[in-house]
Amino acid sequence: MKISPTKLKGVFVIETDFSEDERGSFSKTFHADIFKKYKLSRNFKESFFSISNKNVIRGMHFHLPPRDHAKLIYVTHGAILDVVLDLRKDSKTYGDYVSVELSQKNHKGIYIPTGCAHGFLSLEDSTCTVYLQTSMYSKEHDTGVNIGSFGMKWGVKNPVISKRDKGLMAFKDFVSPFNKTK
């Protein structure tokens, strides 16, 4: 397993251990000792997965304190363009974002610390994206910023976006409660 930093402090691209033979394939997506070495949270409380068709955009989601959480994201089938937006006021990269392709073929995942918004564009039909997070879902703390409000060029003319995500506030209107860059 290889862990590489991005330009956003605490956001890491993870190249998983992968093997393949006549039976199929095998991937290791998490290793507690390696996460400990990089000072990444290992205390995951909940896991979800979504299946998305091509050109679906989900995001940009996060939980407010005290239910904020770190996330580990990877793809078991298909491909996504994963996007992370820094919402931490004291961060040198506040308001900046990174994007990385995660796919069944490239065996990459991404670790996202608290204080960042997360979203993705599905690049293929039937893409399965897995999310592990360090707190449990809380409707009262679940929010996000609009996908078109922070400069990301998604490259899709007619994306499929939920009514909820279309109605999320603009980044410029978000008053961040996130102070500490981890």
Of the candidates 61, 77, 94, 141, the residue annotated as catalytic is 61
> 61 catalytic, yes or no?
yes
- How far is Cα 138 from Cα 9, in angstroms, rounded to an integer? 26
Q: Which of 74, 111, 131, 141 is catalytic?
A: 131
Q: In terms of Cα–Cα distance, which of 142, 122, 148, 128 is closest to 76?
A: 128
Q: What is the dihedral of CA 148, 151, 154, 158, to 10 degrees?
A: 30
Q: Interior CA angle at 174 toward 60 and 129, to 5°?
A: 10
Nearest-angstrom CA–CA distance, 163 and 7: 31
Annotated catalytic residues are: 61, 131
